[in-house]
């Protein structure tokens, strides 16, 4: 990436709420953007997509995961049969290989656990029981 484009991207990203104000943090972000994006066009796409996706500053790990998920080129080649991995198990030199080498599959944003239908039914039954106990108590007090 060109220095001008990195500066522009970081400047545009500062629109995001809670964007870091510390100059070392901003310099580190510039370094991360330069490391992730292979050219100015990717820098623009990362910035465009991040401004659409994040209302609050997401942090470096989430930004990297977001790049690999939404921006990175995943075009495979004939050598690796488009999988990005060679027969010896090593990543290919093509864009898909770069994705395989660098994408952080470990990162997962926190998502609250989803209840199973049984758990939901149990929780509804429990709240109905509490409501019944409550009205029973109220009847005793009033009566
Ligand atoms: Zn390849």
Q: How far is the CA of 87 from the centre of ligand 1 (A)?
A: 11
When comparing pLDDT for 30 and 139, which is higher? 30
Q: Is the pLDDT of residue 23 over 90?
A: yes
Mean pLDDT of the region 101-120: 71
When comparing pLDDT for 76 and 141, which is higher? 76
**Distances 102 to 84, 96, 138 between C-alpha atoms, Å:** 12, 10, 62
Q: How far is the CA of 81 from the centre of ligand 1 (A)?
A: 7
Question: What per-residue confidence (pLDDT) applies to 129?
Answer: 86
Q: How far is the CA of 76 from the centre of ligand 1 (A)?
A: 5
Which residue stretches of 79-116 are H helix?
95-102
Q: How far is the CA of 63 from the centre of ligand 1 (A)?
A: 25
Q: How far is the CA of 68 from the centre of ligand 1 (A)?
A: 17
Spatial separation of the C-alpha atoms in residues 126 and 114, rounded to whole Å: 18
Q: What is the pTM of this model?
A: 0.70
Q: How far is the CA of 84 from the centre of ligand 1 (A)?
A: 5
Mean pLDDT of the chain: 89
Q: In this predicted model, what pLDDT tens digit does every residue of 80-104 receive, in sequence order?
A: 999 999 999 888 999 999 998 888 6
Q: How far is the CA of 108 from the centre of ligand 1 (A)?
A: 26
Question: Which region among 90-94, 111-115, 128-132 has the lowest average model confidence (pLDDT)?
Answer: 111-115
Going from N- to C-terminal start, the domains of the chain cover 1-71, 73-111, 112-143
Q: How far is the CA of 13 from the centre of ligand 1 (A)?
A: 32
């Amino acid at each position: 990436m060109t220095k001008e484009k990195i500066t522009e991207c970081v400047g545009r990203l500062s629109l995001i709420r809670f964007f870091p104000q510390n100059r070392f943090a901003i310099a580190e972000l510039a370094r991360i953007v330069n490391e992730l994006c292979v050219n100015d066009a990717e820098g623009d796409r990362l910035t465009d997509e991040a401004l659409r996706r994040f209302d609050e500053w997401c942090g470096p790990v989430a930004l990297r995961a977001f790049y690999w998920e939404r921006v990175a080129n995943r075009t495979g080649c004939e050598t690796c049969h488009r999988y990005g991995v060679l027969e010896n198990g090593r990543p290919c030199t093509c864009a898909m290989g770069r994705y395989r080498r660098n994408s952080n599959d470990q990162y997962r944003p926190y998502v609250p656990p989803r209840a199973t239908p049984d758990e939901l039914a149990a929780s509804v039954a429990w709240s109905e029981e509490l409501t019944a106990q409550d009205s029973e108590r109220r009847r005793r007090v009033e009566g």
